[in-house]
Structure 1
Amino acid sequence: MTDLTLVSFFFFACQLIVGESFFNFIKMFHLTPGEPYSEIFSNCLIFTYTKELHDYRNSGFVWEPGGFGCFLIITLMLNLFINKFKFDRSSIILIIGVITTVSTTAYLALLIILFMVYRFRNRKINFGIILMIPLLVLIMIKTPFIGEKIVALYSSDMDKLENIDHLSRYYDKIEMQMRLNRFASITYIYNLFGHKLILGVSNMYDELMNKVYSVNISNGIMDFMAKYGVVGFLYLMSCYARFCKRNVKYIECVVYCLLVIVVLGFGSPILTTPIVLMFLFLPYYKLPNPIYVLVKRPVLLNSEYSSAN
């Protein structure tokens, strides 16, 4: 991920400097989707450029900047686990990568991670932490691309749902799926599935989702619940929490880890991707305990072999 982020910096610079010419260059690889998406979307496996929508945002190798930000945040968190919450070269690169996505979701998750690092290093409740919490809330509210964007997004979503019949006919005419943002996705899925959200509908998801309207869901939590239910979501979160507990030790930090994944899942449909589903298995993974470790000479570790040494 660090290497791919460095690669994205180069292509992102080309995107900012060259613009549409760079878009046409990527299209030469013939990896764009069919019409009409090929007019705005281009991809060359290691970089994605969506013209007009994301002219000044870094999508990296993912489908959009928000998705790329989610991948970066999870990688940053794992890197901090490995380094005992110390920032290294990879951490700095990943943080810069998050900044280039200009993603509200990724920014919120980054603020939570930075606060978690502070709390991991400073366990005492002091004046600094009391001041920091309202300060973070104020930053979220006052920052245009966080607070204002969330309010505008909610209003836009509610308007879209009220006019969904008219919009659906328009999108059918241009042969595109109707994109539902975060709040609209919640309402639409809840109205569509109702009590089925408890256990999910599994393989029937695609058929039921597009039965009335052809929509594109952007809320990963509701998307996951529709497929695997609230039960499946809670099980995934419990596995994830157990894995985090092994690395952060403190229950408070586990709560922050849960907040990170909830924020990411709310803003992007990433919960069904391998980078998140791996947490179903990681709590049960144990490093092998080798009999021999090579230092300058073989050293026996297991107590049952100590007499042989």
Structure 2
Amino acid sequence: MKKSTIYEIVIYIYVGWIIICSGSQYFRNFNSGSTFLVLLLLAGITFFLNGKVTKSNIIVFMSICLLLIIHTVITYEQKIGDNAVILLITLVALLVLCSNVSLEKYKKYFISFMLIEAIVSLICFCVCWFYSPSVLPGYSEVFINYTNGYNIVYLTPYYTIGWLSTAGFFYRNAGIFWEPGAHAIYLNIALLFFLNIVDLKKSTFTDKVKLVVLVGGILSTLSTTGYFTLVLSFIYYTTKSKKLKDMRRNIIIIIITLSFLIITALYGDVFDKIIYRRGSFGTRYIDTVQGMKVAFSKWVFGYGFFNNNKIVGALNHVGITNISNGLIELMIQIGIPLVLLYVYAFHRGVKRVFMTNNLGCFILDVIFLIFYSSEAITMYPVFLCFFFFLSKCTGRTTITSS
């Protein structure tokens, strides 16, 4: 087998493993040590095969590390645990990946991996719904002990079935992720990449099938957040063209997507969730409001990125067990000034990755803000990737191994 072929296979697995490290229930949450060691191994193999890191990415890597070191020195109160090692491995892996894969290839491989994941998840979802979850190969039950009780997670390495606290099977498609809403986020990112690189007017039959699979996967999550961002994703697509002849088509797309949103809201109890602050909206509302109180209590430097015990104590004090708002969580950890820097750098990354106009970038910013407000994912590899420079985005000098 040619070295170039081996390299492409490694890069594909690399991108897929970045997604797995960003939320797989089985791998990231229950086997994080070995999972991130594999990520580090993939980084080593990639560097061995191609031997390239870019100066711009070294600057990003060093800047993030320097900020974290200074912040940790200022806020240090407890022993730094495994999270620091995982974060360092993540940054090293992104340094190598983004220096060796083009923007176009990253999008292509991301879409491809999520298409496979979506198809597998839809098959598993149907098996669980119409037959029995226990027939899935690799089925297991993981017990989780809490201070005041316990939970059980039913899963396989490739599909999360449900939790004891949700009466077993979710009856919603969680895919490889910890819950259906998280699954919807990653499928929506794949959809955004797809809409970014494909012209639906000139799309092939294969492209149409891919679109159906991604949209079908999102619909199967039954996630309110997923549905809202699905609509916004198609509205983003309408901003791609500047031609007047496309205006009519764009208006039709907007009407259809808004109609879908209204129907979903009417028949999916969305208005009830918002008005009465119940269900997932109620939880996120409390997490946001009460979490902001904690964030503002130490708004300059936060409680410390690695001071988990102190953060948990502060959140428990206001009635929050597990905070779902990722942006608020980050404010509590590192303070509001650094979060503003994070948001600005992420916005620049979104504009660079999607290469869109101001209106399109605004819609994308809103979509990712919704993602961050619904899950604690701000420091996961897929999202940190937006801070780095994928090759061929700009011209730059590289440092090559001898």
Taking structure 1 as reference, are residues 130 and 10 closer, same or farther at Cα in structure 2, changes over 3 Å only?
closer
Taking structure 1 as reference, are residues 79 and 142 closer, same or farther at Cα in structure 2, changes over 3 Å only?
closer
Of 374, 379, 382, the match for 1:267: 374
Residue in 1 aligned with 2:335?
229
Of 133, 136, 153, the match for 1:22: 133
Confirm or deny that 1:66 pairs with 2:217: no
1:220-276 residue CA offsets vs partner (Å, 9 max, x unmatched): 232222223333333333333323333333111111110110122222222232211
Of 112, 115, 118, the match for 2:238: 118
Q: Is the 1:240–1:280 contact (alpha carbons within 8 Å) kept by the matching residues of 2?
A: yes
What SS does structure 1 have at the residue aligned with 2:154?
strand
Confirm or deny that 1:98 pairs with 2:218: yes
What SS does structure 1 have at the residue aligned with 2:167?
coil
Taking structure 1 as reference, are residues 252 and 156 closer, same or farther at Cα in structure 2, changes over 3 Å only?
closer
Aligned partners of 2:300 and 2:173: how far apart in 1?
A: 36
Of 364, 367, 371, the match for 1:257: 364
Aligned partners of 1:27 and 1:197: how far apart in 2?
A: 45
Letter of the structure 2 residue corresponding to residue 231 of structure 1: P
Taking structure 1 as reference, are residues 233 and 200 closer, same or farther at Cα in structure 2, changes over 3 Å only?
same
Deviation of residue 101 (structure 1)?
A: 0.5
Superposition TM-score, scaled by structure 2 size: 0.56
Residue in 2 aligned with 1:56?
171
Residue in 1 aligned with 2:355?
248
Taking structure 1 as reference, are residues 207 and 92 closer, same or farther at Cα in structure 2, changes over 3 Å only?
same
What SS does structure 1 have at the residue aligned with 2:294?
helix
Aligned partners of 2:161 and 2:181: how far apart in 1?
A: 13
Residue in 1 aligned with 2:151?
37
Q: Is the 1:245–1:254 contact (alpha carbons within 8 Å) kept by the matching residues of 2?
A: yes
Deviation of residue 69 (structure 1)?
A: 0.3
Aligned partners of 2:211 and 2:256: how far apart in 1?
A: 24
Taking structure 1 as reference, are residues 3 and 287 closer, same or farther at Cα in structure 2, changes over 3 Å only?
farther
Of 345, 348, 359, the match for 1:239: 345
Residue in 2 aligned with 1:186?
288
- The higher radius of gyration belongs to 1
Superposition TM-score, scaled by structure 1 size: 0.71
Q: Is the 2:128–2:169 contact (alpha carbons within 8 Å) kept by the matching residues of 1?
A: no
Aligned partners of 1:199 and 1:138: how far apart in 2?
A: 44
Q: Is the 2:284–2:325 contact (alpha carbons within 8 Å) kept by the matching residues of 1?
A: yes
Q: Is the 1:46–1:61 contact (alpha carbons within 8 Å) kept by the matching residues of 2?
A: yes
What SS does structure 1 have at the residue aligned with 2:173?
coil
Taking structure 1 as reference, are residues 226 and 54 closer, same or farther at Cα in structure 2, changes over 3 Å only?
farther
Deviation of residue 123 (structure 1)?
A: 4.8
Aligned partners of 2:370 and 2:243: how far apart in 1?
A: 24
Aligned partners of 1:133 and 1:12: how far apart in 2?
A: 30
Taking structure 1 as reference, are residues 155 and 54 closer, same or farther at Cα in structure 2, changes over 3 Å only?
farther
Aligned partners of 2:144 and 2:344: how far apart in 1?
A: 37
Deviation of residue 207 (structure 1)?
A: 4.2
Q: Is the 1:199–1:228 contact (alpha carbons within 8 Å) kept by the matching residues of 2?
A: yes
Residue in 2 aligned with 1:171?
none
Residue in 2 aligned with 1:143?
264
1:90-147 residue CA offsets vs partner (Å, 9 max, x unmatched): 4432221111111110111111111111221355495776787677556534534687
Aligned partners of 1:123 and 1:233: how far apart in 2?
A: 38
User: Which stretch shows the higher mean deviation, 126-135 or 74-83?
Assistant: 126-135
Deviation of residue 84 (structure 1)?
A: 6.1
Q: Is the 1:196–1:229 contact (alpha carbons within 8 Å) kept by the matching residues of 2?
A: yes
Q: Count how many residue pairs are aligned between Structure 1 and Structure 2.
A: 267
Residue in 1 aligned with 2:273?
152
Q: Which runs of 5+ in 1 are unaligned?
A: 161-178, 291-309
Taking structure 1 as reference, are residues 225 and 26 closer, same or farther at Cα in structure 2, changes over 3 Å only?
farther
Aligned alpha-carbon RMSD (Å): 3.6
Letter of the structure 2 residue corresponding to residue 250 of structure 1: N
Taking structure 1 as reference, are residues 77 and 25 closer, same or farther at Cα in structure 2, changes over 3 Å only?
closer
What SS does structure 2 have at the residue aligned with 1:216?
coil
Aligned partners of 1:279 and 1:289: how far apart in 2?
A: 17
Query: How high is the sequence identity, in percent, across the aligned residues?
Result: 21
